[in-house]
Amino acid sequence: MILKYHIQMTRAALSPYFSERALEIIIAANLKQDDLKNQIGHDEIHYDNNAIDKGDRYIIEQRGTIIATLLSPGILAAWIAFGRMLHTAQDFYAHTNYVSLWLDQFDGAPPPPAEVDPLKKDLVKSPNLRSGKIYFPLDWLYFIKPLRPLILKFLPKDSHGWMNLDSPEQGPKFDYALAAATKRTEYELDLLRKLLTPEMFARFTDKQPV
Ligand SMILES: [Zn+2]
């Protein structure tokens, strides 16, 4: 997704629970995932090129880093790992066909975006789950806005260019991707709340419980 939405979703889901300084580090680490060096050869970070299993594994690894960091007196590495992980978890909804598979269940009359289930078991494990392939150099030229209509004529339908839900320009499915990714962000925090001891969780959020 474009950076603005990574910020918006992360703030919406985490602001009530984290100190501002923690939130800023988490968001900076999230956004850094879209640096050029994290784009080339890192399909797992963005669930690109059908790297579904690798993306899932990347999330598990970052969660492991969070837990390992909080078992020591450290904290910074936990916030950075959380930001990295959230970027990938959020990109899942923008770069795979999960939203399309979810909508397909409703025969053309889907519930509103707020009701999207971000982790429907049979869809997350569906053999039909795919993500956009990056075709060089067309999928890079796609990002030059005035060229986009022309480039799309040459890109196959299974490309990132055709499949992405990175911004509202992609149509009504974007709202479902945004809602699902925001809910997923909340889910990842809830999961950590369950996995960590109350003391570790308080250190992680850097905020006194109210
Ligand atoms: Zn990304």
Give the Å distance between the CA of 191 and the centre of ligand 1.
Answer: 22
CA of 184 to the centre of ligand 1 (A): 15
In the reported structure, the alpha carbon of residue 198 is separated from the centroid of ligand 1 by a whole-number distance in angstroms of 31
**197 C-alpha vs ligand 1 centroid, how far in Å?**
31
pLDDT band at 81 (very low <50, low <70, confident <90, very high): very high
pTM of structure? 0.96
Report percent pLDDT > 70 for the chain: 99
Taking only the tens place, the pLDDT of each residue in 124-177 is 999 999 999 999 999 999 999 999 999 999 999 999 999 999 999 999 999 999
Question: Lowest mean pLDDT: which of 32-36, 149-153, 188-192, 206-210?
Answer: 206-210
The answer on pLDDT for 210 being more than 80 is no
Q: How far is the CA of 147 from the centre of ligand 1 (A)?
A: 21
- State the distance from the centre of ligand 1 to the C-alpha of 19, rounded, in angstroms: 25
User: Measured in angstroms, how far is the CA atom of residue 112 from the centroid of ligand 1?
Assistant: 25
Instruction: Give whole-number Cα distances, 85 to 44, 81, 90, 189, in Å.
Output: 11, 6, 9, 11
State how far Cα 49 lies from the chain centre.
Answer: 15
Which sequence spans correspond to the domains of the chain?
Answer: 3-204
77 CA from centroid of ligand 1 (Å): 20
DSSP for 5-51, written as a single string: HHHHHHHHHHTTTS-HHHHHHHHHHHHHTTSGGGTTT-HHHHT-TT-
pLDDT tens, residue by residue, 10-67: 999 999 999 999 999 999 999 999 999 999 899 999 999 999 999 999 999 999 999 9
Measure 68 CA to ligand 1 centroid, in angstroms: 25
